[in-house]
Amino acid sequence: MEGAGLRNNFELPTGKGKGVPQPPEKKESVDLQILAQLNKISEILAPTQNLQFYQVSDHIKVAQPTVLDANSNLYVREQVFERLGRNAPFLYCYNDGPGTWFVRASSDGNNFPEEYPIKQGESNTFTNVYELRHRTPTEGLNYRISEHELKQQTAVNAAEKIEIVSTDDTVHFTGAIVQFDQEKENLKGLSGNRFTIRGVNIQSVQPLKFNLIFWSTSGFNNTDLNVDSFIDFVTLDMSASPTFRINSAGQYYLNVGNLEILYEDLDVTRQLHISLQDLSAAPKNAGATGEVQIDIKMSPRL
pLDDT band at 6 (very low <50, low <70, confident <90, very high): very low
Same domain, 94 and 121: yes
Which one is predicted more confidently, 46 or 214?
214
- pLDDT band with cut points at 50, 70 and 90 for residue 25: low
Judge if 104 and 203 occupy the same domain: no
Instruction: Please count the residues of the chain.
Output: 302
CA atoms of 94 and 79, how far apart (whole Å): 17
Number of structural domains found in the chain: 2
| Least confident stretch, 48-52, 121-125, 181-185, 199-203 | 48-52
Residues 128, 204, single domain; the answer is no
Residue 276 belongs to domain with CATH number: 2.60.120
pLDDT tens string 260-287: 899 999 999 999 999 999 999 999 999 9
Of 154, 173, 190, the last residue of a domain is 154
Q: What is the mean pLDDT of the chain?
A: 85
Query: CA-CA distances (angstroms) from residue 292 to 134, 168, 272?
Result: 43, 8, 17
End-to-end CA gap in the chain: 92
Query: Do residues 208 and 276 make contact, with C-beta atoms less than 8 angstroms apart?
Result: no
Q: How far is CA 266 from CA 194, 217, 223, 231, in A?
A: 9, 6, 19, 11
- In terms of domains, do 178 and 127 share one? no
* Pair 146, 168 in one domain: no
Assess whether 97 and 176 both reside in one domain.
no
198 lies in some domain = yes
Edge-to-edge, what's the strand order for the sheet holding 182-187?
182-187, 272-278, 209-215, 230-237
Do 143 and 171 lie in one domain? The reply is no
Where is the domain boundary, 85, 120, 154?
A: 154
What pLDDT does residue 290 have?
Answer: 97
Residues 136 and 176 in one domain: no
Given pLDDT bands bounded at 50, 70 and 90, which one contains residue 43?
Answer: low
Omega cis (within 30) before 242: yes
Q: What mean pLDDT do residues 79-97 have?
A: 91
129 and 213 housed in the same domain: no
Q: What is the pLDDT of residue 56?
A: 87
Which residues span the domain enclosing 124?
A: 51-154
Q: For residue 195, with 0-12 CB atoms within 10 Å meaning exposed, 13-18 middle and 19 or more buried, which class applies? A: buried
Distance CA 288, CA 275 (A): 19
Asked if residue 115 and residue 83 are part of one domain, the reply reads: yes
Q: What is the model's pTM?
A: 0.51
pLDDT of 26 strictly over 80: no
Identity at 113, one-letter amino acid code: P
Select from 154, 181, 216 the last residue of a domain: 154
* CA–CA separation, 76 and 143 (whole Å): 12
- pLDDT higher than 80, residue 33: no
* Confidence check: pLDDT of 36 > 80: no
Distance CA 23, CA 15 (A): 10
CA-nearest of 199, 205, 209 to 276 is 209
Q: What is the pLDDT of residue 22?
A: 56
Q: Determine what percent of the chain is predicted with pLDDT higher than 70.
A: 80
| CATH code of the domain covering residue 125 | 2.60.120.10
Q: Where are the beta strands (DSSP E) in the chain?
A: 55-59, 76-78, 88-97, 101-106, 116-118, 123-129, 131-135, 142-146, 163-166, 182-187, 194-204, 209-215, 230-237, 244-246, 249-256, 261-264, 272-278, 292-300
Confidence class for position 156, pLDDT limits 50, 70, 90: very low
Residue 93 has pLDDT above 80, yes or no: yes
Residue type (1 letter), 141: L
| CA–CA dist 69, 61 (Å, integer) | 19
**pLDDT tier at 97, thresholds 50, 70, 90:** confident
Q: Please state, as a whole number, how many other Cβ atoms lie within 10 Å of the Cβ of residue 210.
A: 27
- Report the alpha-carbon distance of residue 302 to residue 291 in Å, rounded: 35
Helices (H), the chain: 2-9, 27-45, 80-84, 153-159
Note whether residue 272 is domain-resident.
Answer: yes
